[in-house]
């Protein structure tokens, strides 16, 4: 296994390709995302860190993986029913020790040429005595609706970098059925109108309270408002995650 660390916190992982993604009779995983449902080692349950799960996404000949902390992604191939990943690059987010260890465990599993099997919505990876079972994400964790969900900002996007929300600060958005979005960007509170397009959201002028905001709350508010006032935003929902982006800046949000 070879790990290549990335200098930014964007979830990108580079894996060297070995030929075509899959040949005749290879399992069909392209374009699908899977979430872990169980892990066993030597036939006994292997408990993941509380609150974490393994995610595997296979898109355009690349696999993206995570286990609760950093993200890995890169090219993959299928040698029959064997998943081949040779070189991994990983983001460098700092996480508690158990989550970092879990990253290492997952990287080892993916580079260990595990047997891959797909039956309906279930994916199984088997490497030695370790069996990782996953379920298609659209079944295990359907997309949340944009409207009516309270979305909490949990990351800030700037160019190729993704950073955490400043400690001690929080921001939320709620899109209403009436075309109004309620905003708590970090310090003040308010609302405005919004329009939803195909994969886009445009937020109109916001009316906010006018408290003076400094420190982490003020920093977060500035970052959130920079995105919301940028005009038409690309909007992508995957399970409980919403990404709003305007050019090089954006917000990562999670459903409460």
Domains of the chain: 2-140 (2.40.128.270), 150-255 (2.40.128.270)
Percent of the chain with pLDDT strictly greater than 70: 90
Tell whether the model's pLDDT for residue 3 goes beyond 60.
no
Average pLDDT of the chain, as a whole number: 89
Tell whether the model's pLDDT for residue 54 goes beyond 70.
yes
In this structure, the strands spanning 130-136 and 2-5 are: unpaired
- State residue 11's pLDDT score: 37
Instruction: Choose between 27 and 58: higher pLDDT.
Output: 58
- State residue 6's pLDDT score: 41
Express each pLDDT in 112-143 by its tens digit. 999 999 999 999 999 999 999 999 999 999 99
Tell whether the model's pLDDT for residue 8 goes beyond 60.
no
Distance CA 197, CA 54 (A): 32
Express each pLDDT in 60-106 by its tens digit. 999 999 999 989 988 999 999 999 997 888 887 888 999 999 999 99
- State residue 19's pLDDT score: 37
């Amino acid at each position: 296994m070879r790990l290549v660390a990335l200098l930014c916190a964007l979830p990108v992982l580079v894996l060297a390709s070995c030929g075509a993604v899959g040949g005749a009779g290879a399992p069909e995983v392209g374009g699908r995302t899977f979430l872990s449902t169980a892990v066993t080692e030597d036939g006994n349950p292997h408990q993941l860190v509380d609150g974490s799960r393994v995610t595997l996404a296979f898109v355009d000949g690349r696999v993206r993986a995570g286990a609760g902390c950093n993200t890995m992604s890169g090219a993959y191939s299928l040698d029959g029913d064997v998943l081949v990943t040779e070189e991994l690059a990983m983001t460098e987010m700092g996480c508690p020790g158990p989550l970092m260890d879990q990253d290492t465990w997952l990287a080892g599993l993916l580079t260990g040429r595990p047997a891959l099997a797909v039956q309906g919505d279930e994916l199984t990876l088997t490497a030695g005595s370790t069996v990782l079972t996953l379920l298609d994400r659209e079944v295990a964790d359907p997309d949340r609706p944009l409207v009516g969900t309270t979305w909490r900002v949990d990351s800030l996007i700037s160019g190729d970098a993704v950073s955490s929300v400043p400690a001690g600060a929080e921001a939320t958005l709620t899109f209403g059925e009436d075309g109004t979005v309620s905003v708590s960007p970090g310090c003040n509170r308010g609302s405005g109108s919004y329009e939803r397009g195909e994969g886009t959201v445009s937020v109109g002028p916001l009316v906010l309270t006018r408290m003076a905001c400094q420190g982490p709350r003020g920093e977060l508010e500035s970052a959130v408002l920079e995105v919301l006032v940028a005009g038409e935003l690309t909007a992508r929902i995957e399970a409980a995650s919403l990404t709003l982006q305007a050019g090089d800046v954006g917000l990562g949000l999670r459903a409460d």
